[in-house]
Structure 1
Amino acid sequence: MDPECTLTVRSSADFIAVTPYLLSFHPDDSIVVIGTVGSRVTFAARHDLLAPDHAGVTSIARLVAAQRLQEAAVLGYGRPEAVIRTLEVLGDELVRHGVPVRDQLRITDGRWWGLGCTSPTCCPPEGKPVPGPDSAVAASAIFQGQVALPNRAALIAQVAPAEGEERERMADLTVDVCTRFMAAGWSGPALEKAGRRLVRRAERRYAAGRALTPEEIAELGVALAHPAVTGHTLDNSRDEPWRIALWTDVTRRVDPFWVPGPACLLAYVAWRAGMGALARVAIDRALVQDPDHRLSRTFDRLLAAGISHDAVANLKPPRARSSRR
């Protein structure tokens, strides 16, 4: 969610209404922790529901406690038994770690209940309907340009690789690009210089509302395998919205072998924009392709720690030789 978006949350129903816009998608079979300092939401994180052995609950609580929140709301989505067990176990663990828990809410089949609330007035046995897109909080989020996709799968699809003829054509183009780069002697400093030029071309194109050709995508993907090219691009990235479109497009269309570079750039600009869920799926895509990609692993640890971009003054990628050349 864009940190410039301002929403007022006053009730348990408001927490439920705002959650899809904090995550950028409607969660299911999930536990969500929303943290506040004063009236400001400063933290939102989603995790799968806990397994019966409660594995991972301590690490989740430590992550939340590290955010120095004044209060937290814990929302569980899915089957009643799994959600209630997760809410109880995680709620107790958060309190043990010094996190005051304001609300524990169960959301199942379009209705919600407050855990432990027995008042028939505020918590009827049949639950209450989940606030819809016409609620005040949701309407305010939509008015401010926020989007909530139907589910996490829809978010993953935004960074999924192109398939079919487009993928085959990109593979052929990438072979041609590699051959041409080698014939031109583009390696080391020469490749870095060429890569910076290709990045500038792409940035100018998307800033003007235009796209890259498939051949230009292939060239950029190969150039971004050079750590210095990716590092220079990170150093000079700002908060322009078109950067999300640029690096999403390159991540989807580039030949999968070369995806870690653009996926890291997408993760970085999404993280800066407060779109943590998009950053997460971008890094997951990079790590599936190359589990040893150093910058991807750095971002993975940063996102896993729940660190806000406000807390990082100057992110520098590893400058060592890339494992994918």
Structure 2
Amino acid sequence: MNSTDRPRLSVRSPADLVAAVPYLLGFHPADSVVVVAVRGRRVVFAARGDLPEPGSDPGPAARHLARVVVRQDADAATVIGYGPAARVTGAVDAVGGALDEAGVIVLDALRVTDGRWWSYLCDEPACCPADGTPYDPAASQVSAAAVFAGQVALPDRAALAAQVSPLDGPVRLAMRRATGRARTRLAALTGVPPGSDSPGGVSSDGVAPGGVPSGGRRGEARAVRSAGTAAVRAAFRRQRRGERLDDDEVAWLTVLLTHVAVRDHAWSRTDGLDADISLWTDVFRRAEPDLTAAPGTLLSFAAWRAGHGALAAVTLERVLATHPEYPLAVLLDEALRRGLPPSELDGWPTDAGGAVLRRRRRRRPPR
């Protein structure tokens, strides 16, 4: 089953929804406020934010979450806070109020703490006792259905981030040596010493070198594009046969991906397939630190296309921590923060696709 084939989970009660949230997010939330948006009878979106710090104003974050939900064309939503009442109540109230002002019906507002849930909108002791309603995620039919369908709920967000953390030890040493060989190979191809900007390429922060290449340099750029296209296609073929790239293949690919034309070719071939996510996860984790921008952004794009927003977000966090000005990562990060559905950017990396986000960036946010 591809990641784009999302299984349907039947949610008939607050307890079912609480059991479903970890599978919607990909991990069990803590100290969080989650909004589950629906259109008609179907869940279309789940967004999570950190609980505000004690004494801080929850309003700005609440209004941002509400704007994100509105962009999904949702009819209604349920707000769920995870944590103690002293921290959760104000945040849930703020988000519920922001949704109401935005015209989104609030179906329920819940708090989840220590294996119990409470409803802020129900005061009937028969269904919403004052001491909360216990629930056991392991015994839930929703959890069982999600696991049967192959969905995973990691223990927390840190466990999700660990899935895209760099590999160390012998792997790092081997990749450092392989990347040295790849840089030498690229220098032989282009005639440009290792570490210099080469024609048609980008530096590790994604800024393209200026100037128009001369005829000879154009030829070198064509050679790099040709080598990059071949490397990308070979990587996708290997991955879809279930084969893992060796160190020299990964190193050569990451060196070539610093060139915009090569990266964009890889981008045009990347979708939300499990194989795409697996490929870019492996390359991202094994890449040398100065070469992580392109494979990390491609992984984030693939995860986003598959509906794995949390995986896309933690990947971008790692990319931007090292390459804060990498243009493609910055644009994709803004798309995720605005809650844009992947379908709105169909056509990337063509100019038409990128223009969608550029137009949105020029718009004033709603008051």
TM-score interval, normalised by the smaller of the two chains = over 0.9
Aligned AA for 2:242? G
More deviation in 116-125 or 216-225?
116-125
- Mapped to 1, the partners of 2:52 and 2:40 lie a distance apart of 29
Task: Give how far 1:300 is off.
Answer: 0.4
The answer to whether residue 329 in structure 2 is matched with residue 296 in structure 1 is yes
The answer to whether residue 248 in structure 2 is matched with residue 215 in structure 1 is yes
Say if 1:61 and 1:93, in contact at 8 Å, map to a contact too: yes
3-state SS, counterpart of residue 96 of structure 2? helix
Q: What residue in structure 2 maps to residue 29 of structure 1?
A: 31
Change (3 A) 1:3 1:98: farther
Q: What residue in structure 2 maps to residue 39 of structure 1?
A: 41
Say if 2:271 and 2:306, in contact at 8 Å, map to a contact too: no
- Mapped to 1, the partners of 2:17 and 2:52 lie a distance apart of 21
Task: Give how far 1:118 is off.
Answer: 2.2
Aligned AA for 1:290? H
Q: What residue in structure 2 maps to residue 192 of structure 1?
A: 225
**Where do 1:200-239 residues align within 5 Å?**
200-239=233-272
Q: What residue in structure 1 maps to residue 213 of structure 2?
A: none
Task: Give how far 1:280 is off.
Answer: 1.0
- Mapped to 2, the partners of 1:116 and 1:239 lie a distance apart of 38
Task: Give how far 1:239 is off.
Answer: 4.1
3-state SS, counterpart of residue 46 of structure 2? strand
Q: What residue in structure 2 maps to residue 322 of structure 1?
A: none
- Mapped to 1, the partners of 2:340 and 2:136 lie a distance apart of 30
Aligned AA for 2:85? P
- Mapped to 2, the partners of 1:235 and 1:271 lie a distance apart of 14
More deviation in 246-255 or 308-317?
308-317
**Where do 1:275-294 residues align within 5 Å?**
275-294=308-327
Say if 2:272 and 2:303, in contact at 8 Å, map to a contact too: no
Segments of structure 2 that go 5 or more residues without pairing to the other structure are 192-197, 199-220, 354-367
3-state SS, counterpart of residue 35 of structure 1? strand
Q: What residue in structure 2 maps to residue 269 of structure 1?
A: 302
Task: Give how far 1:252 is off.
Answer: 0.6
Task: Give how far 1:35 is off.
Answer: 0.4
Say if 2:40 and 2:75, in contact at 8 Å, map to a contact too: yes
Q: What residue in structure 2 maps to residue 166 of structure 1?
A: 171
3-state SS, counterpart of residue 59 of structure 1? helix
Q: What residue in structure 1 maps to residue 57 of structure 2?
A: 53
Change (3 A) 1:2 1:104: farther
- Mapped to 1, the partners of 2:101 and 2:136 lie a distance apart of 31
**Normalising to structure 1: TM-score of the pair?**
0.93
Aligned AA for 1:302? A
Say if 1:30 and 1:78, in contact at 8 Å, map to a contact too: yes
Segments of structure 1 that go 5 or more residues without pairing to the other structure are 320-325
Task: Give how far 1:57 is off.
Answer: 2.4
Say if 2:115 and 2:135, in contact at 8 Å, map to a contact too: yes
Change (3 A) 1:235 1:2: closer
Q: What residue in structure 1 maps to residue 358 of structure 2?
A: none
Task: Give how far 1:285 is off.
Answer: 1.4
Say if 1:295 and 1:317, in contact at 8 Å, map to a contact too: no
- Mapped to 2, the partners of 1:34 and 1:240 lie a distance apart of 24
Task: Give how far 1:4 is off.
Answer: 2.6
- Mapped to 2, the partners of 1:30 and 1:317 lie a distance apart of 37
Task: Give how far 1:82 is off.
Answer: 0.6
Change (3 A) 1:66 1:195: same
Say if 1:43 and 1:67, in contact at 8 Å, map to a contact too: yes
Q: Give me the identity figure in percent.
A: 42
- Mapped to 1, the partners of 2:226 and 2:338 lie a distance apart of 34
- Mapped to 1, the partners of 2:152 and 2:350 lie a distance apart of 30
**Where do 1:234-249 residues align within 5 Å?**
234-249=267-282
Number of aligned residue pairs: 320
- Mapped to 2, the partners of 1:61 and 1:239 lie a distance apart of 26
Q: What residue in structure 2 maps to residue 63 of structure 1?
A: 68
3-state SS, counterpart of residue 292 of structure 1? coil
RMSD value over aligned CA atoms? Answer: 1.9
The answer to whether residue 144 in structure 2 is matched with residue 111 in structure 1 is no
Alignment counterpart, residue 15 of structure 2, candidates 3, 10, 13: 13
Task: Give how far 1:253 is off.
Answer: 0.8
Task: Give how far 1:2 is off.
Answer: 4.8
- Mapped to 1, the partners of 2:322 and 2:174 lie a distance apart of 19
Runs of 4+ in structure 1 displaced over 6 angstroms? none
Say if 1:2 and 1:275, in contact at 8 Å, map to a contact too: no
Task: Give how far 1:301 is off.
Answer: 0.9
**Normalising to structure 2: TM-score of the pair?**
0.83
Task: Give how far 1:128 is off.
Answer: 1.3
- Mapped to 1, the partners of 2:337 and 2:110 lie a distance apart of 24
Say if 2:72 and 2:341, in contact at 8 Å, map to a contact too: no
